[in-house]
């Protein structure tokens, strides 16, 4: 869906973005991470055709984003939602849809659809200046979706929202999954854990890691772990070692005959399945067998350290 190749942007003598490549598959939600000043917003502005790159190119669905057809496939929600304060919610969304060539009955259907999808019915006739931060973000998202784009680009969409508003926005993103390709820039790492299939991590204008959240953790040595409670720790540990894991903790539970074991290493859902099969084969009763990931914050911290 999105292919960006060799993006470069200079401001004076400084390279804000230095050779960034992106490849985001159709229907996926890709998290775009990095510290302040990493070049995320500059990259996103080039991706949506707002800021011309000094080098490189961007294609969406095979079309150059600097062509009219290429831009038509992109919905864009910048960090500061650009609402017209005197327009009503309905008027602003209709204006946004009209900018992308919609008119007449098609425009009216599109406006009604995104108002329903973004749950804006109760404020549709309210002036944008009277909206809360959460509703402002929803209106911005509705405007970005009004022309039914193939790709949606969001720059810090939950900044400044309270926990309830963040949860509502997160649920809205989940409802788009598989229907719209999403590139999401955020500092809220819990957001990435909740909605993203893949990550791209930027630091000092360069991509320093890509992959699933699990792959990023694994690449940086932030291991997942397997937590289990069994009735035969000796046989259980043998099965864990057989699957290439190491025993990190072992403790008797308060209620016999159960023993709690924590195993670490390259732990994936597939490895968990092999462990379960090995325990069943050896006649070990299992009360708990959970795959626990280390926090992504730790992986992100290590990414920063790796570039110093």
Rounded-to-10 torsion of CA 76, 80, 86, 92: 10
Report whether pLDDT(80) > 90. no
pLDDT, residue 171, reads: 83
Q: What is the pLDDT of residues 106-122, one digit of tens each?
A: 999 999 999 998 889 99
Report whether pLDDT(199) > 70. yes
pLDDT, residue 296, reads: 64
The C-alpha atoms of residue 145 and residue 118 are separated, in whole angstroms, by: 10
Determine the length of the chain: 308
Report whether pLDDT(89) > 90. yes
Structure-token pair, residue 84? 């017209």
Q: What is the pLDDT of residues 276-299, one digit of tens each?
A: 999 999 999 999 999 876 666 666
pLDDT, residue 26, reads: 87
Report whether pLDDT(13) > 70. yes
Pairing of strands 2-11, 74-77: unpaired
Question: Which pLDDT band, with edges at 50, 70 and 90, does 308 fall under?
Answer: low
Distances in Å between the Cα of 72 and the Cα atoms of 59, 63, 106, 180, 226 are 12, 10, 16, 14, 46
Pairing of strands 29-33, 74-77: unpaired
* pTM reported for the whole predicted model: 0.74
Report whether pLDDT(176) > 90. no
Burial class, 17, CB count within 10 angstroms (exposed 0-12 / middle 13-18 / buried 19+): buried
pLDDT, residue 303, reads: 58
As a whole number, the mean pLDDT across the chain is 86
Question: Which pLDDT band, with edges at 50, 70 and 90, does 224 fall under?
Answer: confident
Question: What percent of the chain clears pLDDT 90, i.e. is strictly above it?
Answer: 47
Residue owning tokens 């060799």: 6
Structure-token pair, residue 203? 């630091």
pLDDT, residue 143, reads: 93
The C-alpha atoms of residue 135 and residue 157 are separated, in whole angstroms, by: 12
Q: What is the 3-state secondary structure (H, E, C) of the chain?
A: CEEEEEEEEEECCEEEEEEEEEEECCCCEEEEECCCCCCHHHHHHHHCCCCCCCEEEEEECCEECCCHHHHHCEEEECCCCCCCCCCEHHHHHHHHHHHCCCCHHHHHHHHHHHHHHCCCHHHCCCEHHHCCHHHHHHHHHHHHHCCCCCEEEEECCCCCCCHHHHHHHHHHHHHHCCCCEEEEECCCHHHHHHHCCEEEEEECCEEEEEECHHHHHHHCCCCEEEEEEECCHHHHHHHHHHCCCEEEEEEECCCCCCEEEEEEECCCHHHHHHHHHHHHHCCCCEEEEEEECCCHHHHHHHHHHHCC
pLDDT, residue 294, reads: 66
- The better pLDDT of the pair 214, 49 is held by 49
Measured in whole angstroms, how far is the alpha carbon of residue 75 from the centre of its chain? Answer: 16
Which residues touch 249 (CB under 8 Å, ≥6 apart)?
A: 260, 261, 262
Domains plus CATH for the chain? Answer: 2-218 (3.40.50.300), 221-297 (3.30.70.260)
pLDDT, residue 209, reads: 82
Q: What is the pLDDT of residues 179-192, one digit of tens each?
A: 889 999 987 776 77
Q: What is the pLDDT of residues 124-172, one digit of tens each?
A: 999 999 998 888 988 998 999 999 899 999 998 887 777 887 888 888 8
pLDDT, residue 186, reads: 80
Question: Which pLDDT band, with edges at 50, 70 and 90, does 306 fall under?
Answer: low
| Mean pLDDT of the region 10-27 | 90
């Amino acid at each position: 869906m999105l292919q960006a190749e060799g993006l470069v942007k200079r401001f004076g003598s400084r390279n804000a973005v230095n050779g960034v490549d992106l490849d985001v598959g159709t229907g996926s939600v890709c998290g775009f991470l990095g510290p302040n000043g990493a070049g995320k917003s500059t990259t996103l502005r080039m991706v949506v055709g707002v800021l011309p790159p000094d080098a490189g190119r961007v294609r969406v669905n095979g079309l150059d984003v600097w062509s009219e057809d290429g831009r038509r496939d992109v919905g864009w929600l910048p960090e500061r939602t650009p609402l017209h304060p005197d327009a009503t919610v309905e008027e602003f969304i209709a204006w946004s849809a009209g900018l992308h060539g919609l008119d007449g009955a098609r425009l009216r259907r599109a406006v009604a659809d995104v108002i329903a999808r973004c749950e804006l019915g109760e404020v549709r006739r309210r002036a944008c200046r009277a909206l809360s931060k959460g509703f402002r973000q929803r209106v911005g998202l509705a405007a970005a979706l009004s022309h039914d784009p193939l790709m949606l680009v969001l720059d810090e969409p939950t900044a400044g929202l309270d926990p309830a508003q963040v949860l509502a926005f997160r649920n809205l993103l989940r409802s788009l999954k598989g229907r719209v390709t999403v590139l999401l820039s955020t500092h809220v790492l819990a957001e990435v854990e909740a909605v993203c299939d893949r990550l791209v991590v930027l630091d000092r204008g360069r991509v320093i890691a890509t992959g699933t959240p699990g792959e990023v953790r694994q690449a940086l040595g932030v291991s997942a772990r397997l937590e289990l409670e069994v009735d035969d720790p000796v046989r259980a540990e043998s099965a864990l070692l057989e699957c290439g894991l190491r025993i990190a903790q072992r403790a008797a539970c308060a209620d016999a005959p159960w023993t709690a074991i924590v195993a670490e290493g390259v732990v994936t859902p597939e490895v968990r399945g092999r462990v379960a099969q090995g325990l069943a084969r050896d006649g070990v009763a299992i009360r708990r067998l959970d795959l626990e990931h280390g926090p992504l914050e730790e992986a992100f911290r290590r990414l920063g350290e790796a570039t110093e």
